[in-house]
């Protein structure tokens, strides 16, 4: 049974008001995930198996089971391709976090999970904060080369 985990050596994430903000520290990209995508991310953070992730999503959303299954699998593939999650091969930890969130949940209509990717902060996130930042202005201001003074 395949399970997943956050690629914590290269990725940090925080959930704020239902939105998951993910930063790939290696590439400098950041991402936004909401609604069903945020639920899938939360399940990955708990290192659930693929089957348990799908079961949890099916318990929380109304919709065609086959459509939801394809969407969940596709979204997990996108997360893997972006380097945000890894397949968890450590069989000892696979079962310890598999408590599903399914009780007392009012189902809502399923929306396709999407991963919004932003690369406009890449340059700033990859800056060396000590050597490449303007000393007086601070981060996120890039140090500029000294330009010759015109007479």
Tens of pLDDT along 84-136?
A: 999 987 655 545 555 666 555 789 999 999 999 988 776 666 666 555 666 66
**Residue 74's closest CA among 36, 45, 101?**
36
> Do residues 79 and 125 touch, judged by C-beta distance below 8 A?
no
pTM equals 0.76
> Do residues 25 and 10 touch, judged by C-beta distance below 8 A?
yes
- Rounded Cα gap, residues 13 and 142, in angstroms: 25
**Residue 23's closest CA among 92, 111, 119?**
119
State residue 46's pLDDT score. 94
Which DSSP letter does residue 139 get?
T
State residue 118's pLDDT score. 86
Q: Which residue has the higher pLDDT, 65 or 129?
A: 65
């Amino acid at each position: 049974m395949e399970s997943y985990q956050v690629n914590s050596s290269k990725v940090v994430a925080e959930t704020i008001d239902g939105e998951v903000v993910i930063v790939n520290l290696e590439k400098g990209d950041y991402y936004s995930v909401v609604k069903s995508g945020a639920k899938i991310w939360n399940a990955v953070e708990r290192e659930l198996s693929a089957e348990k992730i799908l079961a949890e999503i099916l318990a929380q959303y109304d919709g065609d089971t086959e459509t939801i299954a394809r969407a969940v699998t596709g979204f997990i593939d996108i997360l893997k391709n972006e380097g945000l999650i890894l397949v968890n091969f450590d069989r000892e930890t696979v079962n310890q976090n598999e408590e599903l969130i399914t009780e007392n949940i009012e189902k809502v209509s399923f929306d396709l999970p999407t991963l919004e990717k932003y690369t406009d902060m890449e340059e700033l996130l990859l800056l060396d904060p000590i050597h490449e930042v303007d000393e007086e202005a601070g981060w996120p201001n890039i140090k500029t080369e000294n330009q010759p003074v015109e007479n």
